[in-house]
Amino acid sequence: MEKGVSNTGQRIAILGPESSGKTWFGHQLAESTGGTYVAEFAREYLEDLDRPYTLKDLVHIADEQFRRNTQLSEGPLICDTEMITISIWAQEKFDEVPLQVQELLHEQSFDRYLLFAPDIPWSYDPLRENPSDRERLYGLYKGVLNKLGLEATVIKGTFSEREDWVEHVSSQLR
């Protein structure tokens, strides 16, 4: 599929620091709306990698995530990461954002951004790297969204409160 192909359903971007409930929420929202959940390709890719990842790997991850995020969907397309996340990741890990990732960042288009607050307990995962830095990273997400002129709905609270957020957001997508 060509880059930039739009969907017949709404495209929803899920973003925020690690261990903030994004994947759980994405699955719940897709189920609630009859939408399509687009998994975070980085997890799939890094689980199979038998060496430390490089900046070149992040470019590959960005390309594939972008491709998956632009698939056609009859209902909402719930994307469990996007180029803001990958650009912050690249800057934090390698102190640079490759031009290709920057271009994809400016080319991507979503109907709605959901920004997840890091106000739930950290859950260990061998792929997660920032257990004590989530608030600072959350601030980076807010800053990039602001710089790009993008509004986001902030998802926060306990898991019970986040269940209410699933219902609230899904009612707006129906």
**Structure tokens of 98?**
């490759």
Roughly what angle, to the nearest 10 degrees, separates helices 55-69 and 83-94? 170
Q: What CATH code is carried by the domain that includes residue 154?
A: 3.40.50.300
Q: Which domain holds residue 115?
A: 11-173
pLDDT reading at 3 higher than 60: no
Instruction: Give the pLDDT mean for 131-139.
Output: 90
Residue 9 confidence (pLDDT): 83
pLDDT reading at 124 higher than 80: no
pLDDT reading at 1 higher than 60: no
In a domain, 159, yes or no: yes
In a domain, 62, yes or no: yes
In a domain, 112, yes or no: yes
Total structural domains within the chain = 1
pTM equals 0.90
In a domain, 107, yes or no: yes
Question: What rounded mean pLDDT belongs to the chain?
Answer: 91
pLDDT reading at 71 higher than 70: yes
